[in-house]
Structure 1
């Protein structure tokens, strides 16, 4: 029974993890709005989700032949789908963070995250009702 429940929730769990990592990245962009030469980054959500559920369409991670090889400096599990945001207006200090774009992306991602949580809660409530028979 546990594996059936895990299989039913795997997609939602993957989407929720991706949304949480994207939220951290957007918060980092906002926090570094005044850092010279900081380049705003974002995750291609659609490609990362497709890659995570097995429909690999993007770049693959590099493999190493020795334990002494350097690993990726990106700490996200979806590092292959992280890119730099397009620069809409150049800043004198080389920073590419546009606060309006970042705030909008942050709010949109927050709404998607809350919707995912609500969907998972309703799915679990439905399963609990089905199991208890009430």
Structure 2
């Protein structure tokens, strides 16, 4: 029985997405002076599709049926291979990365606040409203 339906798992997936996006932004900022470094980004659609593939299992009635393919790459992460921001081939725009970092932090904290609200509701119910 799920106490909040799929809300907790949805919030968990959102936090995983935000954590991955934060790592990618940090890598971009760390490599701002690396020649020929291509900036990376995280696609929410690809991340979401990958999360659904993890839960999707094939019902096989015969040993010859083929399983769904599993990808070993980091989900939803792609680079701007044809984008060069500076003359040394580096594709990191520091202003964009800082704006993306601030936006991601706001998103992450909103999800954490929502998750805390769900747990506080559960704690209130367990205590009997006291």
Same fold (TM > 0.5): yes
Question: Contact conserved, 2:31 with 2:37, CA < 8 A, in 1?
Answer: yes
> Which stretches in structure 2 are left out of the alignment for 5+ residues?
57-68
Q: CA RMSD in A?
A: 2.5
Report the CA distance between 1:8 and its aligned residue: 4.2
Give the distance between the partners of 2:48 and 2:94, measured in 1 at CA. Answer: 26
Residues 35-80 of structure 1: per-residue CA shift (max 9 Å, x gap): 0000000111244124414599xxx644xxxxxxxxx4x4x3x2xx
What are the equivalent positions in structure 2 for 1:1-134 lying under 5 Å apart? 4-5=2-3, 8-53=7-52, 61-62=70-71, 72=72, 74=73, 76=74, 78=75, 81-85=76-80, 87=83, 90-134=85-129
Report the CA distance between 1:123 and its aligned residue: 0.7
> Which stretches in structure 1 are left out of the alignment for 5+ residues?
63-71
Give the distance between the partners of 1:109 and 1:131, measured in 2 at CA. Answer: 33
Q: What SS does the aligned partner of 2:86 have?
A: coil
Would the alpha carbon gap of residues 53 and 130 (structure 1) be closer, same or farther in structure 2, given more than 3 Å must change?
A: farther
- Which 4+ residue blocks in structure 1 deviate beyond 6 angstroms? none
Higher alpha-carbon Rg: 2
